[in-house]
Structures are given as structure tokens and as C-alpha cells.
Amino acid sequence: MTSEVHRKTVFIVDDDPAVRDSISLLFSLHGHATAVFACAEDFLRAIQPGWRGVVLADIRMPGLSGLEMQEALASHPARLPMIMITAHADIATARQAFKFQAVDFLEKPFDHDQLLASVDAAMSGLPETRSAIGTRPVATTLSPRERQVMALVVDGLDNGSIGERLGISPRTVEVHKSRVMTKLGARNLAELVRIAQAAR
């Protein structure tokens, strides 16, 4: 591969050949050039400063993980936005991904429209993909109790621990958490982490 990579190239880094092939086909059908890599090491050896596009990287891969690759790319001159994908999502992993400026964090199996929208937003340089944080600020959207619950959820506490901390039942915690997700348009906890970090 040369440095003359199409501006809208989707770089797919995943150790599962079926995943690589299906994602590559999806984006090819929607007019994007694609390039596939079986591991983080292959991508890091190949990347050149002139490359443009978006990186889709699996979190768990043999050798370097997607998060380790993301950290290695943080200072690379190509400055490619990254979307992390995983079948094993948890809050700590999402928090680390967003710490290193991931533009999105998607759980497998993901909806194709969701994936396309996320990549299109990243290529357009938009800070958001699916939640209207700019028009619905966390501070004005959530009640004080909901903000407390959100902060503790993002810190990785379970419902029982949050309930003990706030003096409410786990069921009440779940109700508050559900309201937070609905108000902020978060489809899952990874999105909630992204929204919370953007609000900070």
C-alpha cells in the first residue's frame, strides 16, 4: 500500500477474517475505500503520515490490543480518528478508549446503519455521532440525583454499591440510570461514558 490512500479509506484492524470481510464489503458498497489488517502490529508497520480516513479497531486481538495500538497512534502524524469495536465491552475499557480520544466505541454485533453513521461522522470531523450533547447539556438535562448516579456508573460501580453510597435501593438506582440513558440518548454504557467525558 502506498501513501496515496483515498481520503475516505476505512482501515479495518481485526483478527477475525469474517469480521474484516463483512465490514470491508459494507463500506465498499457505500463508496468507501477499505484496507484490512489482521493485527495491530501489521497496521502500525504499514501506516504512513499521508493516510487519511478512519480506523476501526477491535479491542481484543492477539499481540497488541486495540487500546495499545490506539495509545501508540496518539502521537502519529497521520492523526487518524479511531472507532473501537468489541464483543466484550465494559466501562473501564470504554473509559480508557475515550481517554485516548476514540471517537466512538461500538459493541459487536453492531447495527450496520449505526456503524456507517459513526464512520461518516468521524470522517466529517464531528465530535458527536449519535447523541446531541451540544443541544442537551448534561448539567441542565439531568436532575442532581441523576447526575450523581451517572457519575458513579461511569466510575464503574454496580447498582448495589451506588445504592449504598447514595442511601437508596438498587431498584431506585436502576430507575435513575434508565432515565439518564433515555435523557442523554445513550444506547449503552459505553455511550454513557463518552457523553459523561465530553460533558467534563
At residue 108 the predicted structure's pLDDT band, cuts being 50, 70 and 90, is confident
**Residue 85: partners with Cβ closer than 8 Å, 6 or more residues away:** 14, 56, 57, 58, 59, 66, 105, 106, 107, 108, 110
C-alpha of 46 from chain center: 23
Nearest CA among 95, 29, 23 for reference residue 55: 23
Report whether pLDDT(128) > 50.
no
C-alpha cell at 12: 479495518
- What is the spatial distance between Cα 10 and Cα 42, in angstroms, rounded to a whole number? 15
**Residue 176: partners with Cβ closer than 8 Å, 6 or more residues away:** 145, 146, 149
Classified as helix, coil or strand, 36 is strand
C-alpha cell at 42: 501489521
Report whether pLDDT(11) > 50.
yes
The CATH number of 138-199 is 1.10.10.10
Cα-trace Rg, the chain: 18
pLDDT in tens, 87-106: 877 787 888 888 777 888 88
pLDDT for the residue numbered 156: 82
**Residue 21: partners with Cβ closer than 8 Å, 6 or more residues away:** 36
Task: Identify the CATH homologous superfamily for domain 9-123.
Answer: Response regulator (3.40.50.2300)
pLDDT for the residue numbered 196: 79
**Domain regions of the chain by residue span:** 9-123, 138-199
Three-class secondary structure assignment of 43-96: HHHHCCCCCCEEEEEECCCCCCCHHHHHHHHCCCCCCCCEEEEECCCCHHHHHH
**Which helix or strand (DSSP H or E) is residue 109 part of?**
none
Cβ pair 180, 186 in contact under 8 A: yes
The residue type at 143: S
Nearest CA among 149, 150, 151 for reference residue 163: 149
pLDDT in tens, 20-37: 999 999 999 998 999 999
The mean predicted confidence, pLDDT, of the chain is 83
